[in-house]
Amino acid sequence: MTTISRTPAASTNQMYDLAIVGGGVYGAMLALEAARRGLKPLLLEKNDFGGATSLNSLRIVHGGLRYLQSLDLHRFFESTGERQWLLKTFPELVEPLSCLMPLYGKGARRPPVLRVALALNAALSLRRNQGVRSDRHLPAGQVIIAEQVRRLFPMVDMEGLQGGAIWYDGSMTHSQRLIMAVLRWATMLGATSLNYMEAQSMLRQGNQVVGVVAQDRLNGQVYEYRAKSVVNAAGPWCREFAAQIDRDIPQLFESSIAWNALFDRPALSDHAIAVAPKQPNARTYFIRPWQGRLLAGTVHDPWTQPLAATPMPTPEQLADCLQDLNHAIPGLNLKSSEIVRIFSGLLPAKQAGTAELSVREVIIDHSKQGGPSGLFSISGVKFTTSHLVAEKTVSCVFPNTVPASDGEAPLEVQRKRGIFDFNWYPNSSEADWQRQLQTLIAEEAVYHLDDLVLRRTSLGDNPDRALSIAPMLCELFDWDDRRCKQEIARLESYFRQRQPDYALEFTPP
């Protein structure tokens, strides 16, 4: 059975091997990895599954090209290995993405340098397609001439253009479905996942952790779940939670903000374009096609506000980004009024108050720092490497277990459900959409309208569409008029908080 049932009271009757706090991609991968090793995991998520940082990524499964530049071969091999794992395991949900960087002969961005880098990238990732379905294979990269760049990316600035570098990564266009696929598979193997369940404290026997106390956020009920060990995978909240249940561990998380902007503009190319304004030390932006639209980012900035605040860029940061993009692509003339939605979240920084990202995951065994046995905290850096970190963590918690052998996830869990084009609207000739959504509501612990719209389907990719069909979607639930209004208001508020309407109309100089 791959149905995720929300049964908080009945779930207290079990003895779990592992309780996982946090249902982002790191928690979900932990549940899957533990279940695949024959362990019995329980996952507790205080809001909805995958609704925080994990909903906001640029949805690129990074290989290692960027890490070759910094000669971080460890990271290169980990990333290419995880890209291969994701393409092999979830071929229905992860697909190749071609990336194109116009080359203007500045610094390392010269055709001869890129030719060597791409050859090295291909040679060091020779096994990248091993075991991967043939339609998910990644070709080797290449350097192309300026005229070819223009054909692939018609708006490219031709002045000084010397050519372009093409390489391939993975794309998880509907990353929310990937998280649900991971959870459904874990469920099939015996995991229990409960959303809207906030872990509050640990159950202890002497110096041993023996479970978690959690509160149901839908009705305030408090439950005790017994587990042999607990992993705190609470993402940006992991340090705060570690301090709440044991002690502050600064290396777990110092906040920085990362964000992308989705524009109501047709995509510029079938390729994800890597561009930078022609100034020294300028930031590089990825402009990727997403749902036929233009998704640009990822911008990293310092973040000093409390965790409770919705992470959003300031008007100045947004204006800088627009200015950079408009300089990098003359004639693009993007305006903040075209932003459909900001995707933003907090990521671990190397140092407090900076935007420099941590490069490695942190896995803490609290008993080695004077804390209780059986308690672990983790903090990851990329969606791409979440499975590897789960593997390392479960091996640390249960050293006598071994990772499951590779293999494709069952098709039943990977099936693309609730995926609609950006401009799709329900029409009477298509009766199937309601049935599809009703199945999702029944099978994936959907409680709020925004669970369905944002985290089970692609309906929320287009906020105008989502809000205009919201009353129709409410009819799929057993809700009275008052509840429908509350749910629609909740969805509106979510979108409102992610709009840059505070950013003044910006006119590029």
Kindly list the residues in this chain that would bind ligand FAD in the complex (CB under 6 A): 21-27, 44-47, 51-54, 56-60, 62, 198-199, 233-237, 241, 258-260, 297-298, 343-345, 347, 380-384
Query: d(Cα 496, Cα 463) in Å, to the nearest integer?
Result: 10
Nearer to ligand FAD, 85 or 259 (CB): 259
Cis peptide before 298 (omega within 30 of 0): yes
Nearer to ligand FAD, 213 or 476 (CB): 213
Cβ closer to ligand FAD: 103 or 179? Answer: 179
Q: How far is the C-alpha of 86 from the C-alpha of 354, rounded, in Å? A: 31
Is 42 within 8 Å of 11 (Cβ atoms)? yes
Q: How far is CA 291 from CA 37, 223, 295, 419, in A?
A: 36, 41, 9, 10
What is the nearest approach in angstroms of ligand FAD to the Cβ of residue 389?
Answer: 9
Q: Are 108 and 65 in contact (CB under 8 A)?
A: no
- The minimum distance between CB 286 and ligand FAD, in angstroms, equals 8
Shortest Å distance, C-beta 261 to ligand FAD: 10
Which lies closer to ligand FAD via its Cβ, residue 143 or residue 194?
Answer: 194
Strand, helix or coil at 275?
Answer: strand
What is the distance between the alpha carbons of residues 468 and 16, in angstroms, rounded to a whole number?
A: 43
In this structure, what token pair is assigned to residue 419? 């995926």
The nearest distance, CB 135 to ligand FAD, in angstroms, is 22
Tokens 């047709």 map to which residue? 266
Per-residue DSSP letters for 68-112?
HHTT-HHHHHHHHHHHHHHHHH-TTT-EEEEEEEEE-SBTTBSHH
Q: Which CB, 271 or 382, lies closer to ligand FAD? A: 382
DSSP H or E segment with residue 43: strand 41-44
Residue 19 in contact with residue 231, Cβ under 8 Å?
yes
- CA dist 389 and 506 (Å) reads 41
> Which one, 62 or 271, has the nearer CB to ligand FAD?
62
In the complex, minimum distance from the CB of residue 198 to ligand FAD, in angstroms, rounded to a whole number: 4
Give the residue with the Cβ less far from ligand FAD, 62 or 293. 62
Distance CA 452, CA 251 (A): 35
Nearer to ligand FAD, 21 or 39 (CB): 21
Q: For residue 469, how many other CB atoms are within 10 A of its CB?
A: 17
Backbone angles phi, psi at 423, to 5 degrees: -100, 10
Which is it for strands 255-266 and 293-302: parallel, antiparallel or unpaired? antiparallel
In the complex, the smallest distance separating the C-beta of residue 250 from ligand FAD, rounded to whole angstroms, is 17
**Complex with ligand FAD: residue 45 or 487, whichever CB lies closer:** 45
Give 225's strand partners. 212
Least distance in Å: CB of 217 to ligand FAD?
9
Q: How far is the CB of 484 from ligand FAD (least distance, A)?
A: 25
The pairing of strands 163-171 and 255-266 is unpaired
> Which CB atom, from 58 or from 189, has the smaller least distance to ligand FAD?
58
In the complex, minimum distance from the CB of residue 62 to ligand FAD, in angstroms, rounded to a whole number: 5
List, as one string, the DSSP characters of 204-219.
Answer: EETTEEEEEEEEETTT
* Secondary structure (DSSP) of 393-409: HHHHH-TT--PPPP-PP
Toward ligand FAD, which CB reaches closer, 52 or 274? 52
Closer Cβ to ligand FAD, 308 or 411, answer by number: 308
- C-alpha–C-alpha distance, residues 361 and 74, integer Å: 13
Min dist CB 330 to ligand FAD, Å, is 26
**Residue 280 C-beta: closest distance to ligand FAD, Å:** 25
Give the nearest residue (CB) to ligand FAD: 24
| Nearest distance in Å: CB 22, ligand FAD | 3
Query: Pairing state of beta strands 60-61 and 163-171?
Result: antiparallel
